[in-house]
Copies of this chain bind each other. A is one copy, B any other.
Amino acid sequence: MIRLHVQAPLSAGVVMAPDQEQARYLISVMRLGEGDEVALFNGRDGEWRARLGDVTKRGCTLTPIRRTRAQTSPPDLDLVMALVKRSPLERVVEKATELGVGRIRLVTTQRTNADHTNVSRLQAIATEAAEQCGRMEVPQVVAPERLDRLVEAWPASRRLMVCDEAGAEAHDGPDAGAAAPLPALKALNDAQRGAWGVLIGPEGGFDPAERVRLQSCPAVICVTLGPRILRADSAAIAAVTLWQAILGDW
C-alpha cells in the first residue's frame, strides 16, 4: 500500500488533490488508476485509506474513505546535529526519522566546515522516510544555527544528552565528565522524562571552549558511546536508539 504525507485536512468523503509530484508518482510511476487505494496522513488527523478519482495525465483526486489509525505523537526528542558531509547528513535525517525523533535541528560549531545545507532537500528525505516507516507525522528539519546561540537559549526544562566522540579521542581517553549511557539515563527518574535533546558533535569534535560551555549547562548530561570512535552518523543513530529504548516509546 502506497503511503503519502499530505498537507490537506483528512476526513471521510472530503475530496482533496495530491500535489503535482505526488500525482505524477501515483499515475505515471506506480500506474494507479480510478478506484485504486492509497494511505494518507497529515500529522494531525490520523491515517486514512483514500481512493483515487478523476484520473487524467495531469492529476487526480483522493477521497478519504475511512480512518485506519488514530493520530499519535512521537516522543518530544530534538536531535541536534552538527553539520557533517552531505551523504552522512542525509542518512542521519533518514534514520532519525525512522527511529522516531520529534525534530531535527542543525548546528554549526567551531570545527564545522560545511555550508552545503539544503534544508528543503533534507525535509524531503524526512518526508519520504516517514511515509515508508509508518510514522504518523514528519519531523521538522530546522535550518542551521550556531551552537553557542543554541546553548544560550536552551531551556533548563529540556534535558540535553551530549555525545562527543571525536572530542573524547582528542583528549586522549574518554572525558572524565562523561558516563556510560545506560546507567546515566536510567538514573534519571520519571520526572525527567518529557522534553529532551540529543546533541551530536562534528567529525572534528567540539573545541575546548565549547566543551566547557556544554558541561556547565545545567540541562546537559554527557555520555560516551563505547571505547571506539564512531563517525558522526553512527553516533547519531546509536544515541537516538539508546534514548528511545530507555526513555522513549520503544
Which of B229, B237, B249 makes the CB contact (< 8 A) with A234? B237
A: interface residue count bin: 20 to 34
- Copies, count: 2
Whether a CB of chain B sits under 8 angstroms from the CB of A64 is: no
A180, A224, A230, A248: residue with the most chain B Cβ atoms closer than 10 Å: A230
Do A100 and B226 form a contact, CB below 8 Å, given A237-B234, A241-B238?
yes
Evaluate contact between A228 and B99: CB separation under 8 angstroms: yes
CB of A229 to closest CB in B, whole Å = 5
Do A95 and B245 form a contact, CB below 8 Å, given A132-B229, A224-B250, A250-B182?
no
Evaluate contact between A226 and B244: CB separation under 8 angstroms: yes
Evaluate contact between A99 and B230: CB separation under 8 angstroms: yes
Determine the distance from Cα of A135 to Cα of B234 in the docked complex, in whole angstroms: 15
Whether a CB of chain B sits under 8 angstroms from the CB of A126 is: no
Whether a CB of chain B sits under 8 angstroms from the CB of A10 is: no
Evaluate contact between A237 and B241: CB separation under 8 angstroms: yes
CB of A93 to closest CB in B, whole Å = 12
Whether a CB of chain B sits under 8 angstroms from the CB of A6 is: no
Whether a CB of chain B sits under 8 angstroms from the CB of A210 is: no
Which residues, 219 to 250 on A, are CB-close (under 8 Å) to B? 224-231, 234, 237-238, 241-242, 244-246, 248-250
Which of B182, B229, B237, B246 makes the CB contact (< 8 A) with A133? B229
Which residues, 176 to 229 on A, are CB-close (under 8 Å) to B? 180-182, 224-229
Do A99 and B234 form a contact, CB below 8 Å, given A132-B229, A249-B226?
yes
> Which A residues are within 8 Å of any B CB, using their own CB?
91, 95, 98-100, 132-135, 169, 180-182, 224-231, 234, 237-238, 241-242, 244-246, 248-250
3 interchain residue pairs of minimum CB distance? A226-B250, A238-B241, A133-B228
Give 18 pairs: A residue, B residue, CB < 8 Å, sorted on A: A91-B91, A95-B234, A95-B237, A98-B231, A99-B234, A99-B238, A133-B229, A133-B230, A133-B231, A134-B228, A180-B245, A182-B245, A182-B246, A182-B250, A224-B250, A226-B244, A227-B249, A234-B237
